Amino acid sequence: MEGYGVDFTMGPDGLKKRLDGYLDEQDRLGIDRLFGNFTADLEKRYRELIAKAAQIDPELTRHGNESLNKILHQVAHFEKKARQHHRKSCDMVIKRFRGLEATLFPRNNWQERVLNIFPYLFKYGPEFIEDLVELPLLGDFHHKLVFL
């Protein structure tokens, strides 16, 4: 948790935001900027081409726009693939975050709202409750992290 700057009080949404932030930090290419600039430049230059071709016949404007939409669709598909490969290269980190998420927030909720106490009683014995009672957990109603 410390290595990735994760705090259990972040909640499931905070954990997801931290993972997204970490993946953005690891993006050496700057996929957003790279594809955004390319797409904007391509669209601008292609529209200029359409305008010049329309001088021959205005009907070419419709064909040019259709062609541009197809090209932009292909660029978006390539961007999606680049993002998938970036995520794949960060697969170990994603698995660690998923493990943290499953441990801290089973079924996307707080542990105490999902997990049953009986497995802990079987594992640690009835003294487990006595040990918990002795801890300074009450008072401020904030979530606490207890190491067993």
Share of residues in the chain with pLDDT > 70 (%): 97
In this model, does residue 127 exceed pLDDT 80?
Answer: yes
Cα–chain center distance at 61: 40
| pTM: predicted TM-score of the whole model, two decimal places | 0.63
Q: Are 72 and 43 in contact (CB under 8 A)?
A: yes
Share of residues in the chain with pLDDT > 90 (%): 40
- Selection from 73, 75, 47, 40 nearest residue 61 by Cα: 47
pLDDT band at 1 (very low <50, low <70, confident <90, very high): confident
In this model, does residue 138 exceed pLDDT 70?
Answer: no
pLDDT given for residue 7 in this prediction: 78
Q: Are 23 and 90 in contact (CB under 8 A)?
A: yes
Neighbours of 89 (CB within 10 A): 13
In this model, does residue 119 exceed pLDDT 70?
Answer: yes
Residues 6 or more apart from 31 whose CB is under 8 A from it? Answer: 79, 82, 83, 86
Q: What's the rounded Cα separation, in Å, for the pair 64 and 66?
A: 5
